[in-house]
Chain A
Amino acid sequence: EAQVTQNPRYLITVTGKKLTVTCSQNMNHEYMSWYRQDPGLGLRQIYYSMNVEVTDKGDVPEGYKVSRKEKRNFPLILESPSPNQTSLYFCASSLIGQDEQYFGPGTRLTVT
């Protein structure tokens, strides 16, 4: 089944404790992206990647890192999480040129 998977689905952590949210797709998509969704602000793009070893900042990249060492994986790294990073995070992927984005189920992160 074609899908985008994220892990973990739920995470509660404390300020400053490094964490990684994994994202994996099995559709051989070149493009992958991370978004955060907050009430009243909608979805905002954090980082995106157009292919292996190619990443770019989205609208809200501060406090986040990403890497794209393999085509299927695009982890989101929070080196020192803060409470303002409490949010619902989505990973998405698509074929370049085909454009239809496929979204993962979301990761709800709480930073206390």
Chain B
Amino acid sequence: AQSVTQLGSHVSVSEGALVLLRCNYSSSVPPYLFWYVQYPNQGLQLLLKYTSAATLVKGINGFEAEFKKSETSFHLTKPSAHMSDAAEYFCAVSDRSGNEKLTFGTGTRLTIIP
């Protein structure tokens, strides 16, 4: 079984400040890891994914995440927050078993303070 834990259901940062959204995973096999963003009343948009290539993954909108096996973490970061980054962010894991099921975390709502 696999799972992800997102620490902090709500995160607030000032515009221009560092964004750090935490995600820890549990998987019995090397995982695929994903970050998705959801804007109000919209579906999910893929930000980035880790599939065993480089451990530092760069995504869209200036976001990046680093896979750290020793810490079982895949935290999402952005150096400078923009107002448009306000949204719900979901970390997800799949086990590469072939059925590609995604297991989502509970999400982190990011608020940007002007």
Asked if A and B bind, the verdict is no
